[in-house]
Structure 1
Amino acid sequence: MEHVRQHPDRRLVLQSAMAAVVAMMGPVGYAGTSRPPLGFTAVPASLRDAVVVPPEYEYQVLYRWGDPTGIGSSLPAFRPDASNTAEDQALQAGMHHDGMHFFPLGSDGRRALLVLNHEYTDEHQLHADGAAPLTAAKVRKSQHAVGVSVIEIERLPSGWRQVLPSGYARRIHARTPMHIAGPAAGSALLQTAADPSGREVLGTLANCAMGVTPWGTYLTCEENFHGYFGADKSRGGTSDAAARRYGTTPGGQWVDWYRFDESFDVLKHPNESHRFGWVVEIDPMDPTSTPIKRTALGRKCTESATCTLTRDGRVAVYMGDDARFEFIYKFVSRDRVRPGGYAANRDLLDHGTLYAARFDASGQGAWLELTNGDNGHADQAEVLVHARLGASARGATPMDRPEWVAIHPRTAEVFVSLTNNSQRGAPGRPAVDAANPRANNLGGHIMRWTEAGADAAATTFTWSHFVLAGDPAVPGTDTRYPSPQADAFGAPDGLHFDSAGLLWIQTDMSGQAIGKGTYANLGNNALLCADLATGSIKRFLTGPNGSEITGCVVTPDRSTLFVNIQHPGETSDSGGARANSAWPDGSEPGSARPRSAIVAVRRRNGGAVGT
């Protein structure tokens, strides 16, 4: 397969090199572009249990939870009663599709790999008899339902189809062996009874946002890993300040995996949780390769690993830490990106400098280096394992849940979504500040900054707000959109720039809050498209009841937009036995088990999406 994989490798390197050239030229104005305005019919806010797209578009459903991944001859079909075994689930699409990327196979873009995350599980829907009673078999199935999928797809005149079987197909989950690399590898903080070396670990989980390296590998981000670690509270607590900061304490778990897999018991194996919360590098072109956890990028509820090149050819990786009052980070590699794809850059992410961002009231900002000399940690491994503590000690700005990061392909301007923070300004909690200007920030906001000299290696930047989101029609709501014509939205989450410079915004309003308060007139979660040249923001797609819209990626030729419909039917963040959706298989709630799925959207006339 080596002759096939050269095409996407070379394309990604060239794209990154072009971005570096743009950065060297300095920022340019959006108004100079010749792109026509957004050329689709905006869809209205909707509470329909359906995917709604503009009338000039059509969509198809690809790769639903439980669909076979295409691994060899093992193609277990989804059973509507959820009676598939744990062994079946290891060969099927996981639950709750999230971050995703399109890797072309060959130069014509007709065949490709889609690599996507599976963030978490709804235990009520995952098992035929629901979440209780919990059993060893249910825990194993749950562990197989998170992680990452690699699937092969092919474009036909009628649309896209999954290739079954495929030599590329792969499922990576919470039981997949992985290497640990970088400065924290081998540290005493990462050593366990099962792995005294501190260099090998089973699994990845809580995989939310993602990134793509200039050499063509996929970076999956371990976000809310703490929800899988815990212990019986009656056995005692912990005095470990770092464990409390990261939420890895007895009684803090969302799923009681520890009852049947003691590696997740924080009292028996306190170091196991230190082995999660990392950025994991995966070679999508080699299904036999071992994923690698890159500790130089820091441990946190990692959200996004967006890559770009510095002026001198090194790689910079932007990351959020998706929790209230946590931080935005940047990693800059020590070495330059080398020709030769993954083989030539296999350890590039193991050496470099990790920074956390400070946003000053002046509109200026600084990247604060996290080193053991500055924050009292014993060594750099401790700095990286407890990155949150180091960022606090250095004076980084606590943010309103920093999520996805996207970089404009022409100007190198960086955008980040801050989903919301209901505790901002509450008694005993951080007050509003210049970067996070609203108390009880339910609407969320999007910020942007330009690095000094438009160089991603810079240690200073200039920042501003792009949007303060929410419903302007709600009395007392301070919302700020770039133009009066902008369609309103709440809780921005995923961000993606396409090759034309259009910004695709995905939302994650709580299902319990939709149609109420700040979200009163915003409908179900949506995908919106923003034209920075005009300030126009138009609603492009709305999702089914209870769903989050995420993982948007547009093909290089802009002929197709892929997006994930996550957790349709969810009535609370912890799931629930009563789903309010039957999408995509049923006509009304209760008629079918709701399933996360990829949706492929195309113009009916075959033109570019968005314009």
Structure 2
Amino acid sequence: MTCTPARPTATPGATAPGGRALLPLTPTGTRHGGRSFMTCRYRCGNACDHPEPNRTGHGHVQDEITRAVARRSLLKGAAAGSGVMVLGAPLAAAAVTPAAAGAGAAPGRPVSGDLGAADFTAVRPNRRDAVVTAPGFDHDVVIRWGDAVVAGAPAFDPHRQSPEAAKQQFGYNCDYVGVLPLRAARRGREDRSLLVVNHEYTDEALMFPAGVYSDTEVAAIAMANHGMSVVEIRRGLRPGSWRRVTSLGKARHNRRVHIDTPFTLDGPAAGDERLRTTADPSGATVLGTLNNCAGGTTPWGTVLSGEENFNQYFDLPESEQLDERYTEAYARYGITGSGRGWSAVDPRFDLAAEPHEPHRFGWVVELDPHEPDEAPVKRTMLGRFKHEGANIAVARDGRAVAYMGDDERGDYLYRFVSRDRVRRGSSARARRHNKTLLSAGTLYVARLVGDGTEDGVHDGTGEWIALCDDTESFVPGMSVADVLIWTRLAADRVAPTRMDRPEDVQPNPVNGKVYAALTNNSQRGSRFEADEANPLTSSMVRAAIGAPLTQASGNRNGYVLELSPARGDHAATTFTWDLMLVCGDPEAAETYFGGYDKTQVSPISCPDNVAFDDHGNLWISTDGNALGSNDGVFRVPVSGPERGRVTQFLTVPRGAEACGPLIADDNRSLFVAVQHPGEVDGATFEVPASTWPHSDDFPRPSVVVAFRDR
């Protein structure tokens, strides 16, 4: 979830039916759109202030989108609201109106409690310091930063924090949310599930009262607040509601994975010299996991977690130089030695002392929440980059296919196809086998091209380019271990398509297509010259709509890309693609909502994570709303007459980002991780910009669950 700066461009507010004025959709801040300087600093080490790590000349997907958009605007002179993407025609005001029934639901007869089929009135853009759900729905806070996870954990006190306490408590800045039914539930415990959550990063300015802790204590406590939590939860009194199990002595699956938790390195790169350190001369065991962003739940009941902005945690003393053996690789991964001071606590974060330690992060982690004593595994076969997450589909022949995005401006989409097939069933033997599937197979990177026809549709074809399998590299001059440890450098050599921050990439279990959130790249038109490589500021598009070329907007609001595997088979090496959503203010000429009437959709900006309900509806959470409103969660049908109808279901508090989301419990529950509430420039622990969830006089990142109010 790397942040991207944005130049402000005034956008008129929209009007809802009946003439009620909505919140003016004006970008906030002077550089980072909806994201604060504080978020950029703590989450990703100000990645947007540094050169784009991918310095290749490969094309962007926008190159082809731009040509198609321009063709469409020239060929299709239809009026706004016709369902055709037209640039330059007058557009009606954006509206947030009652949503139609989801795909598969009977119009006018919503299924009770089914969030995928329910009619609801869209939440209006707002800046409230609250979780706001659609009318007729409610939410509960499931667990907060600092709540006890394991038995014996001390009560949370912000003035008495310690690394030892943090390793027993719910960590900071929850992100990915997974909910798995508790296997082999005991009698009377069928109502329990396992909640699995990532803890991406820490914001020391909001976590610590001034003058209470030394710099070293702050670093040590922050380190312990990273990682993952596994928490037993049980159904609440209202259908769709959930609460955490507070009798921790009976919650035997509860677990805190933290900076000192041993992880096993697995796959062809395990044991490679570049993964060996003083503390681990075998290159087989790593302590901890860093900057865990999104993730996924596998068909065999484990959780995958992506290590993202790991590059920012490593220090280099001023008197030292970066190891010259890794100059190119460090640069490609954004490793500069400008870290967080963690080397004062643990010397492995000193690049001069341990130049290999960064190579031990940037992997996909697999954790079995049903086995609390089992070491989680870093799967080297899935490649090393800034993983947003990994999500599994099963190919026609039974092999597991993992889709992944590298969340950086100008980086790539990836997938992995297992060598072996998934075994059905939940027997111990089947689970043991399936937990080896990500150890061997083939790693691919995506190349997308336009279809070159004047069909007025922004679409095209693509191919998955093989980088290596577990025994052979397909990149000249690189070994299998080279490809897996330096995946970005390997991909650069085969000319894939550069993307604008590919984040969550998930297969839809209903229609078999794959959806990728491309969050934004607002530096198009500022640091990156506006040209045909950007559909929103290119001379081609500007000429098509009769407007002058500007340097002000860029891709500030992001896209949602839809991939269709050939023959509906996830193992196929070719696919077709179309751009389902061009996000932003519906009044803006360049926005597009799957062909749906733009007067009947909610404004949406910066798609980040995606999920699906049982009807196949797409649910999108946003990060960095550049339109001025708080971030939120949206429902979008992907087929039928409602395709592209974006309807906002929920907004999160001031300064927060909506993470997750997850539809669970037969579509009755929407889990959302509310990350970094109150992360607004100038905010401190003593002078907070938010106090959500309003249990204290300071903000606490928390997981919530939304459901129908009865």
* TM-score, length-scaled by structure 1: 0.86
Which one of 260, 276, 286 corresponds to residue 361 of structure 2? 276
Structure 1 residue aligned with 2:79: none
> Is residue 208–residue 685 contact of structure 2 (8 Å, CA) maintained in 1?
no
Task: Tell me whether 1:285 sits opposite 2:374 in the alignment.
Answer: no
Describe the shift of the 1:290–1:430 C-alpha distance in structure 2 as closer, same or farther (beyond 3 A): farther
Question: In 2, Cα distance between the equivalents of 1:228 and 1:199?
Answer: 21
Q: Runs ≥4 in structure 1, deviation > 6 angstroms?
A: 434-439, 573-577
Deviations 1:291-338 (A, max 9, x none): 000000000000120101011000000000001111110000000012
Structure 2 residue aligned with 1:7: none
> Is residue 447–residue 467 contact of structure 1 (8 Å, CA) maintained in 2?
yes
Structure 2 residue aligned with 1:247: 334
Deviations 1:238-294 (A, max 9, x none): 54111011012222x2x2212321111122211110000000110100110100000
Shift of 1:377: 4.2
Q: Secondary structure at the match of 1:360?
A: strand
Q: Secondary structure at the match of 1:394?
A: coil
Q: Secondary structure at the match of 2:390?
A: strand
Question: In 2, Cα distance between the equivalents of 1:573 and 1:326?
Answer: 32
Question: In 1, Cα distance between the equivalents of 2:276 and 2:529?
Answer: 35
Q: Secondary structure at the match of 2:358?
A: helix
Structure 2 residue aligned with 1:342: 431
Shift of 1:557: 1.0
Q: Secondary structure at the match of 1:280?
A: strand
1:13-28 pair list within 5 angstroms: none
Which one of 337, 356, 361 corresponds to residue 445 of structure 2? 356
Which one of 492, 511, 514 corresponds to residue 392 of structure 1? 492
Structure 1 residue aligned with 2:627: 519
Structure 2 residue aligned with 1:17: none
Q: Secondary structure at the match of 2:593?
A: coil
1:61-100 pair list within 5 angstroms: 61-69=141-149, 71-72=150-151, 74-79=152-157, 81-100=158-177
Structure 2 residue aligned with 1:367: 464
- Counterpart AA for 2:649: F
> Is residue 585–residue 591 contact of structure 2 (8 Å, CA) maintained in 1?
yes
- Counterpart AA for 1:464: D
Question: In 1, Cα distance between the equivalents of 2:608 and 2:142?
Answer: 22
Describe the shift of the 1:230–1:559 C-alpha distance in structure 2 as closer, same or farther (beyond 3 A): same
Structure 2 residue aligned with 1:504: 619
1:338-487 pair list within 5 angstroms: 338-339=423-424, 340=427, 341-362=430-451, 363-371=460-468, 373-424=473-524, 432-433=532-533, 440-473=554-587, 478-482=590-594, 483=596, 484=598, 485-487=600-602
- Counterpart AA for 2:245: V
Which one of 283, 291, 300 corresponds to residue 206 of structure 1? 291
Query: What is the aligned residue count?
Result: 555
Question: In 1, Cα distance between the equivalents of 2:674 and 2:486?
Answer: 33
Deviations 1:218-248 (A, max 9, x none): 1111011111123134433454111011012
Question: In 2, Cα distance between the equivalents of 1:132 and 1:377?
Answer: 50
Structure 2 residue aligned with 1:48: 128
Shift of 1:125: 2.4
- Counterpart AA for 1:604: D
Shift of 1:161: 2.0
Q: Secondary structure at the match of 1:226?
A: helix
Describe the shift of the 1:374–1:407 C-alpha distance in structure 2 as closer, same or farther (beyond 3 A): closer
Q: Secondary structure at the match of 1:88?
A: helix
Which one of 229, 232, 251 corresponds to residue 152 of structure 1? 232
**For structure 1, which runs of at least 5 residues remain unmatched after alignment?**
1-29, 606-611
- Counterpart AA for 1:479: T
Deviations 1:140-162 (A, max 9, x none): 21121011100001113254221
Structure 2 residue aligned with 1:23: none
Shift of 1:171: 0.4
> Is residue 283–residue 291 contact of structure 1 (8 Å, CA) maintained in 2?
yes
CA RMSD of aligned residues (A): 2.5
> Is residue 411–residue 498 contact of structure 2 (8 Å, CA) maintained in 1?
yes
Question: In 2, Cα distance between the equivalents of 1:209 and 1:155?
Answer: 24
Q: Secondary structure at the match of 2:231?
A: strand
Structure 1 residue aligned with 2:660: 551
Q: Secondary structure at the match of 1:78?
A: coil
> Is residue 413–residue 448 contact of structure 1 (8 Å, CA) maintained in 2?
yes
Deviations 1:422-481 (A, max 9, x none): 23465667965489987721111110110011111111100010111112345xx62112
Q: Secondary structure at the match of 1:563?
A: strand
Describe the shift of the 1:32–1:346 C-alpha distance in structure 2 as closer, same or farther (beyond 3 A): closer
**For structure 2, which runs of at least 5 residues remain unmatched after alignment?**
1-100, 108-116, 452-459, 539-552
1:322-333 pair list within 5 angstroms: 322-333=407-418
Describe the shift of the 1:260–1:323 C-alpha distance in structure 2 as closer, same or farther (beyond 3 A): same
Structure 2 residue aligned with 1:314: 399
Question: In 2, Cα distance between the equivalents of 1:119 and 1:498?
Answer: 25
Describe the shift of the 1:574–1:144 C-alpha distance in structure 2 as closer, same or farther (beyond 3 A): farther
Q: Give % identity.
A: 40
Describe the shift of the 1:435–1:500 C-alpha distance in structure 2 as closer, same or farther (beyond 3 A): farther
Question: In 2, Cα distance between the equivalents of 1:573 and 1:101?
Answer: 33
Question: In 2, Cα distance between the equivalents of 1:300 and 1:316?
Answer: 18
- Counterpart AA for 1:562: F
Question: In 1, Cα distance between the equivalents of 2:707 and 2:177?
Answer: 17
> Is residue 361–residue 435 contact of structure 1 (8 Å, CA) maintained in 2?
no
Task: Tell me whether 1:598 sits opposite 2:698 in the alignment.
Answer: no
Structure 1 residue aligned with 2:6: none
- Counterpart AA for 2:501: R
- Counterpart AA for 1:299: R
- Counterpart AA for 1:100: V
- Counterpart AA for 1:507: T
Question: In 2, Cα distance between the equivalents of 1:332 and 1:432?
Answer: 34
- Counterpart AA for 1:160: W
> Is residue 122–residue 574 contact of structure 1 (8 Å, CA) maintained in 2?
no
Describe the shift of the 1:392–1:172 C-alpha distance in structure 2 as closer, same or farther (beyond 3 A): same
1:139-218 pair list within 5 angstroms: 139-158=219-238, 159-164=241-246, 165=248, 166-218=251-303
**Relative contact order higher in (CA < 8 Å, ≥ 6 apart):** 2
> Is residue 104–residue 112 contact of structure 1 (8 Å, CA) maintained in 2?
yes
Describe the shift of the 1:601–1:381 C-alpha distance in structure 2 as closer, same or farther (beyond 3 A): same
> Is residue 302–residue 322 contact of structure 1 (8 Å, CA) maintained in 2?
yes
1:519-538 pair list within 5 angstroms: 519-520=627-628, 523-532=629-638, 533=640, 534=642, 535-538=644-647
Which one of 117, 123, 127 corresponds to residue 208 of structure 2? 127
Shift of 1:576: 8.4
1:111-122 pair list within 5 angstroms: 111-122=192-203
Describe the shift of the 1:248–1:357 C-alpha distance in structure 2 as closer, same or farther (beyond 3 A): same
Question: In 2, Cα distance between the equivalents of 1:201 and 1:317?
Answer: 23
> Is residue 205–residue 683 contact of structure 2 (8 Å, CA) maintained in 1?
no
> Is residue 316–residue 351 contact of structure 2 (8 Å, CA) maintained in 1?
yes
Question: In 2, Cα distance between the equivalents of 1:577 and 1:227?
Answer: 27
Larger Rg: 2
- Counterpart AA for 1:332: V
Structure 1 residue aligned with 2:549: none
> Is residue 469–residue 490 contact of structure 1 (8 Å, CA) maintained in 2?
yes
> Is residue 122–residue 575 contact of structure 1 (8 Å, CA) maintained in 2?
no
